[in-house]
Amino acid sequence: MFTENPFATLASSVPPFLIRAYLLLMIAFVVGGTLFDMLHKRNAAYFFQHRRKARIRASREVSGGEKLRLAVETAAEALVSGEFCNPRRRIAHLLTMYGFIAYTMTSLIMVFGYSAPDALTPAILPLLWHIGALLILIAGIWFWFFIRVDVAAEGNSPFRLARADLFIVSLVANAALALVWSWQISLHSGFATLALLLYLLDTILLFGSVPWSKFSHMFYKPAAAYQRRLEEDRGTRGNLPLPADKPEIFGNARELPRHY
């Protein structure tokens, strides 16, 4: 199961060009949904407007070398999920992030490079595909039942759903259905077709719901993190709260907590 390319097996009954066309449609959903989200919520307009205002308020210019350093620091922070202070949330986020990267990248490679029925897929690709799906599943269940604030701290039911949960729920379901589909293929079971149908429907939900889920946030967060670092180096933090160790910036006093 873990070394078998399920897309190559699928290509024995479905033309490979249809599999590739379906994957291209999912990519179009992501691109189109993200652009729609940006236009509808005016995220891009707000971002560039805020950037212009912050640059006007800047007390110093940042050189090209400094901008490169900030970009490297932002990328390094993203690679280790440094924005999370809670170690459990950070670990869950890292497992989900790297699981998702392995899962999606190997899907692209196996579909476009090794989806022909007679293609010899390198064993590492389906292995990483299965490991990626497992990481998503494990991290998603751990987060959903044991880490979520409204469940762990507030005592709410873990089965209570909101629109904000659409991305994580559909992602975890997608990973689970991918594993079930692959397992049924390895058993040559008649349930493989049903598992495939559910997998495809959930994939449409995952990528087709980008404008209404938190999927597009993964594209905004790196840009926002880089802009925050850039503003700090320029001497302005825009509309972000001032740090406790800098109570006065541009004449705006901030009182320290009374228990200090």
Q: What is the pLDDT of residues 58-92, one digit of tens each?
A: 666 767 777 788 778 777 777 777 666 778 888 98
pLDDT grade, residue 213 (50/70/90)? confident
pLDDT at residue number 110: 94
CA 117/CA 11 separation, integer angstroms: 5
Contact 168, 141 (CB under 8 A): no
Place of tokens 């979520």: 148
Q: Give the total number of structural domains in the chain.
A: 1
18 versus 230: which is more confidently predicted? 18
Q: Helix axis angle, 217-234 relative to 43-57, nearest 10°?
A: 10
* 73 within some domain: no
Q: What is the CATH number of the domain that holds 112?
A: 1.20.950
Instruction: Please report the beta strands in the chain, taking only residues with DSSP state E, as ranges in sequence order.
Output: 248-249, 252-253
In a domain, 248, yes or no: no
Residues 171 and 192 sit within 8 Å (Cβ to Cβ): no
The answer to whether residue 257 sits within a structural domain is no
Higher pLDDT, 139 or 219: 139
Q: Is 248 helix (H, G, I), strand (E, B) or coil?
A: strand
The band of 254, judged by pLDDT with boundaries at 50, 70 and 90, is very low
Handedness of CA 223, 202, 112, 6 (dihedral sign): positive
Q: What average pLDDT score do residues 171-197 get?
A: 92
Quick check: is 64 in a domain?
no
The answer, yes or no, to whether residue 247 has pLDDT greater than 60, is: no
Is the CB of residue 185 less than 8 Å from the CB of residue 153?
Answer: no
Does residue 256 surpass a pLDDT of 50? no
Give me the half-sphere count of Cα atoms (radius 13 Å) on the Cβ side of residue 33.
Answer: 22
Query: Encoding tokens for residue 151?
Result: 């469940």
Residue 88's pLDDT is: 84
Residue 37 within any structural domain of the chain: yes
Cα(5)–Cα(111) distance, rounded to whole angstroms? Answer: 9
**Per this entry, what is the length of the chain?**
260
- Distance, in Å, from the CA atom of 23 to the CA atom of 70, rounded to the nearest integer, reads 35
Q: Is residue 252 part of a domain?
A: no
Any domain includes 22? yes
For residue 112, give the nearest of 17, 9, 208 by alpha carbon. Answer: 17
Residue 27 counted as domain residue: yes
Answer for the pair 54, 228: CB distance below 8 angstroms, yes or no.
Answer: no
Give the domain extent around 152.
Answer: 6-58+86-235
The pTM of this model reads: 0.74
